[in-house]
Amino acid sequence: MLQQTTVKAVAPYYARFLSRWPTINTLAAAGLDDVLRAWAGLGYYARARNLHACAKVINERYGGTFPEDIEKLRALPGVGDYTAMAIAAIAFDRPAVPVDGNVERVVSRIFAVEQDLPAAKPVIRKLAASLLPAERAGDFAQALMDLGATLCSPKRPVCALCPWTGECIARMRGDQERFPRKTPRPEGKLRRGAAFVVLRSDGRVLLRQRPKKGLLASMTEVPGSEWTHEFNERRARRLAPRFRANVQWRRLPGIVRHVFTHFPLELAVFFARVPRATAAPKGARWVKISDLANEALPNVMRKILAHAIESDDRREGTS
């Protein structure tokens, strides 16, 4: 949960997860849809799918107990070098140094690593391993991460209180804030699309499930078009949900903006009201507005629904 997400945002989700699925066995037995619903709002939903898949593998292959071997840990779904090293060191006191962003900063400053990230990662991992003491690998791993999170901060590090102030090359040179060096990340190209929000007269909205592979896989969404660089609104409108009765679509003012890791997104939102007896098109379903909190809706979909419902409320209030 803490990958790419702050402790403050994660804490309530973590508590709810542990309350609902206190063991690997209970998580493995859970349905993926339930896990995604509980995760909704945290973002980066591949983490939830990997967490669920990981629990299943541990339950089936290792009898519900995490393996202690680093290679076996690395082979689990969603577990890379960092997570494998962290579990090995902190849970089992194996000789390993997990390298997260905080550790990268500390090590790159101690050794004044001039190579840019991400290419410098293998070098930094080797240098971090060279600092490993003969005992208490788990304590050392946590201390190193805490050092980067507190004293060795990105800007204005508190070098006077650092236990490595005498050994830090960057500190001795006075250019510690130059590290770690990073290759600028290119900005993703804008994508655009259309979203279609249908409100039934009994207070239900139309939802469907996204494909099982790809961005936001298996999450719940409102119907919409593809998100493309070459968006054409007229063609996109042809993808609106179809009903037996004629539906009057209204283009809502404004757009919904959302930023994913690799690209920004802008969505035109179209809104329609339909009678209570209207059946859902194939592959879609009606959900009470009061039940939306229990749906596996990613943040971008919650933005779309909020924009549509608020716009409709304003229009109703002025009519």
Cβ atoms within 10 Å of 159's Cβ, excluding its own: 17
More confident residue, 51 or 218: 51
User: In the CATH hierarchy, which top-level class contains the domain 92-185?
Assistant: mainly alpha
CATH class of 1-65: mainly alpha
Question: In terms of residues, how long is the chain?
Answer: 319
Instruction: Give the Cα separation of 152 and 102 in Å (integer).
Output: 8
Instruction: For residue 310, report the phi and psi dihedrals to the nearest 5 degrees.
Output: -65, -40
CATH code 1.10.1670.10 region(s) in the chain: 92-185
Task: Give 147's pLDDT tier (boundaries 50, 70, 90).
Answer: very high
Q: What is the spatial distance between Cα 239 and Cα 223, in angstroms, rounded to a whole number?
A: 9
Q: What average pLDDT score do residues 224-246 get?
A: 92
pLDDT of residue 294: 83
User: Once rounded to an integer, what is the mean pLDDT over residues 12-33?
Assistant: 95
Q: Are strands 256-259 and 220-221 parallel, antiparallel or unpaired?
A: unpaired
pLDDT of residue 72: 96
Q: Which residues contact 295 (CB under 8 A, 6 or more apart)?
A: 37, 40, 207, 220, 287
What pLDDT score does 261 carry? Answer: 83
E-only strand ranges, the chain = 191-200, 204-209, 220-221, 250-251, 256-259, 264-274, 284-288
Res. 318 pLDDT band, cuts 50 70 90: low
Task: For residue 196, give the DSSP letter.
Answer: E
pLDDT at 316: 63
Query: What is the β-pairing status of strands 220-221 and 204-209?
Result: antiparallel
Q: Which residue has the higher pLDDT, 187 or 306?
A: 306
In percent, the amount of the chain with pLDDT more than 90 equals 81
Dihedral angle at the C-alpha atoms of 34, 40, 42, 47, nearest 10 degrees?
40
Domain over 191-318 is classified CATH 1.10.260.40: no
Intervals of CATH 1.10.340.30 along the chain: 1-65
Phi, psi of 192 (to 5 degrees): -135, 160
DSSP state of 87: I
pLDDT of 317:
58
Task: Give residue 156's pLDDT.
Answer: 93
* 268 DSSP β-pair partners: 194
Q: Kindly report the average pLDDT of the chain as a whole number.
A: 92
Confidence of residue 121 (pLDDT cuts 50, 70, 90): very high
Cα–Cα nearest to 297, from 232, 224, 219: 219
What's the predicted TM-score (pTM) here? 0.70
The predicted-structure confidence for 61-110, as pLDDT tens digits, reads as follows: 999 999 999 999 999 999 999 999 999 999 999 999 999 999 999 999 99
Q: Kindly tell me if the per-residue pLDDT of 58 is higher than 90.
A: yes
Mean pLDDT of 40-45: 84
Q: CB–CB of 259/247 below 8 Å?
A: no
Where exactly does CATH 3.90.79.10 map onto the chain? 191-318
Mean pLDDT of 16-44: 92
pLDDT above 70 coverage of the chain, percent: 98
- Long-range contacts, stretch 13-17, CB < 8 angstroms, 24+ apart: 13/38, 13/39, 13/41, 13/42
